[in-house]
């Protein structure tokens, strides 16, 4: 009877694992050309790319899969044309393509987006993280 009770739970838990996720190691790097590439791609995703501002605090990591991860701080304009304030961002670059980019939205009152970015950047700094393949 116990086995039948646990079966739906195990199926539910196993369904939560993303098969396209791989574990990678990360190593800090100082190659600033990656920062400029990521900043250009990130600015292009903003409402007003020319007005997007970045702090000089970007941290760069090389993954064992060959991707580049950049964690930094960005300020962009909202729909009203005003700056929303500096927010931490996470970006992953594969070659010349931005494969993952996260910045908390202006309406992130619950802090979910900020928690995601903080967790991803903390994992990158720890030397090991999971990324989509």
In a domain, 7, yes or no: no
15 pLDDT higher than 90 = no
Rounded distance, CA 27 to CA 60, Å?
Answer: 8
Read off the pLDDT band of 18 (50, 70, 90): low
0.75 surpassed by pTM: yes
> Model confidence over 22-48: pLDDT tens digits?
999 999 999 899 999 999 999 998 999
- CB 63 within 8 Å of CB 56: no
In a domain, 107, yes or no: yes
In a domain, 17, yes or no: no
Phi and psi at 132, nearest 5°, equal -75, 145
58 pLDDT higher than 90 = yes
In a domain, 45, yes or no: yes
The closest alpha carbon to 76, from 111, 97, 105, belongs to 105
- Name the residue range of residue 121's domain: 22-132
In a domain, 128, yes or no: yes
In a domain, 2, yes or no: no
DSSP 76-124: -B-TTS-B---EEEEEEEETTEEEEEE---TT-TT-HHHHHHHHHHHHH
Count structural domains, the chain.
Answer: 1
- Residues 90-119, mean pLDDT to the nearest whole number: 89
């Amino acid at each position: 009877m116990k086995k039948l009770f646990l079966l739906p739970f195990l199926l539910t838990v196993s369904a939560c694992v993303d098969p396209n996720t791989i574990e990678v190691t990360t190593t800090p790097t100082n190659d600033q050309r990656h920062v400029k590439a990521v900043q250009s791609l990130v600015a292009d995703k903003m409402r007003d790319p020319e007005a997007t501002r970045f702090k000089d605090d970007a941290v760069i990591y090389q993954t064992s899969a060959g991707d580049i991860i950049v964690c930094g701080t960005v300020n962009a304009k909202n729909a009203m044309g005003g700056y929303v304030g500096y927010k931490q961002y996470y970006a992953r670059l594969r070659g010349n393509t931005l494969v993952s980019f996260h910045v908390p939205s202006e309406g992130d009152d619950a802090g979910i987006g900020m928690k995601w970015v903080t967790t991803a950047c903390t994992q990158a700094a720890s030397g090991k993280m999971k990324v989509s393949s």
